Every structure is written in structure tokens, then in C-alpha cells.
Amino acid sequence: MMIPDWKLERFLTGDLPEEEMNKLRELEANDAVFANRVKMLREDNKAILSKLPFETLAANLGTGAAGNAAKIAAKNAVRFTLVKFAAAAMFVFAIALVAFFAQRETSVMNERVGGDVATVNGSQNTQVALAETQSDTRIKGLDARMEVWKKTPAGIVQLNDLDSVGEGDEIQLRYAVPEKCFGLLFSMDGNGALTLHMGDGVKAIELAPGKMNSLPFAYKLDDAPYFEKFFFVTSPKEFAVEENDVDKLLKRSDVKVIGFTLKKAGK
């Protein structure tokens, strides 16, 4: 879930209605991307106030009519360059992307969705464990969606957002889109490591509409703490994830992002 800037600002100042404040507090506790945005904005707040302290303004308070305010302020404005929020976000994601491209799962990144079962290298990936349940369910007219399932001794169970999981759990991702589009599916864990589960290298792949698709491999959770967050990104146009571009991608107006967070139990 991408929170727009104006709402995030009001969250920081505590000016949202209580219900929304609570929702975002919970999101901050469980969603690393959102928590990062909040953290960086708090740091940015300090930088702004240290560069433009109240004293700079105080000297001009009450000295003139509002009509002169701009002139006064302009005369006394401190010129400075801040490390902008966006730049900081890029930096964080640049680090994460190093992990992203270095991961062993890279070997499966180019696997195209479509086959029922794919043999995958790497200990964290196992062959698909799920039956093709509802594989022909038509979803025309609905929004794109993503499902997360877990393999248990008793069978497979569908997980809900913010459900708890543990190290070693086998997770299967499924998705569906209502119309022809391009899509990417990746995850971020509590160590900040990104893993691409579906895509063509760094590019989104073309997705066929109309039925629920299982990814050709299940995903075994490692020991990363706190959470595993999945992102399903779709767009009518082709798009790619480039280095430093993940945060920008998630904010783009021409893409739809579906997020799904699993809490890591006992972490």
C-alpha cells in the first residue's frame, strides 16, 4: 500500500484522524518500505530545522504586514541544500538492489510464468507445491490480485495480509490480472534483501488476463527477521526496474502496486 505524501506528512505531524493514525502506526511496524519512508522523513525534519531554525524566522515576525512577508523572507532566507528524501530513498533501495541482483534466486528470475512446474536451482526454491486450484477462475472486470499460500502438513492454506509465518515455511505466490498488461513480482525481507520472483531480468513480463496463475516455484522462507513483503506491480505499458529505481517505480502513477506482508513469527 503506497501512502501518498500528503497523508504521510499528516501522519508525521499527528494530524490524521485517530483511526487512520492507528492504521499507519501498524503499517509502520509491519511494512519496511513504509517504515523507511517515515524514518527518512523524520531525519529530513531534523535537517530542515537545523538549517532553517525558528530563530531565522523569528527576527522577522511582527516586523511588517503580510504583504511584505515575501520580500522579508526572501531577503533573509538561508540558502541551503538538503539531502532530499527522494535521494535518500534511492540510496536505501540502491543498497537493497545490490542484494536483489546478488541473490541466488537470480537464476530463476528469468523463468517465465506459464509452466505448471519449473525445476529451480537454489535451496530456497522448491518445485511448485500447489495444485492448480481455481486455475480457470475467470476474473475479468476485477482488479489485479495476488494470493499467497503456505504449504502445511495438512495441505495448502491461503494466507491473509499480516499473517505470521516462520523460517522454512514454503510459500507459493499466485496472481491474476483482468486485462493484458505487464507485471513484476518481487519481495523484500526484514534484512532489506529484494528477490525478484517474476520478471524477465529487470523487465516486467507480459501477463495474460483471465485466470489465476501460480508461479512455477514455491519460495522457502529464510531466517530474515521481522517480515517478508511481496509486491505485485502491473502496468499497461512495459516497464523495468533499474538500479535506484524501486521506490520510484512503486510511486509511479502508471503502475498498480499490490502489497502483501507476512510477519515473521518469533522475530
Taking CB under 8 A as the rule, does residue 85 contact other proteins?
Answer: yes
Q: Whose Cβ is closer to other proteins: residue 17's or residue 266's?
A: 17
- DSSP per position, 83-133: --HHHHHHHHHHHHHHHHHHSTTHHHHTPPBTBS-----STTEEE-----T
Q: Are 218 and 128 in contact (CB under 8 A)?
A: yes
Is 69 among the residues that bind other proteins (CB under 8 A)? yes
Considering only residues 5 to 34 of the shown chain, the ones binding other proteins according to CB under 8 A are 5-6, 9-10, 12-13, 15
Question: How many angstroms from the chain centroid is the CA of residue 128?
Answer: 24
**Nearest-approach distance from CB 255 to other proteins, in angstroms:** 13
Q: Which amino acid is at 90?
A: M
Question: Based on CB atoms, which residue is closest to other proteins, 4 or 153?
Answer: 4
Grid coordinates standing for 134? Answer: 481455481
Q: Are 47 and 77 in contact (CB under 8 A)?
A: no
Pairing of strands 164-165, 256-264: parallel
The label of the residue with cell 532530499 reads 84
Q: How far apart are CA 118 and CA 240, in angstroms?
A: 24
Contact stretch for other proteins (CB under 8 A) within 20-28, 81-89, 125-133, 259-267: 81-89
Is the alpha carbon torsion for 247, 251, 257, 263 positive or negative? positive
Give the binding-site size for other proteins (rule: CB under 8 A): 39
Does position 91 interact with other proteins (CB under 8 A)? The reply is no
Considering only residues 62, 141, 168, 266, which one is a binding residue for other proteins as defined by CB under 8 A?
Answer: 62
From 123, 253, 254, 266, residue interacting with other proteins (rule: CB under 8 A): 253
From 22, 25, 26, 73, residue interacting with other proteins (rule: CB under 8 A): 73
Q: Rounded to the nearest whole angstrom, what is the least distance from the CB of residue 31 to other proteins in the complex?
A: 19
What residues make contact with other proteins under the rule CB under 8 A? 4-6, 9-10, 12-13, 15, 41, 44-45, 48-49, 51-52, 54, 56-58, 60-62, 65-66, 69-70, 72-74, 76-82, 84-85, 253
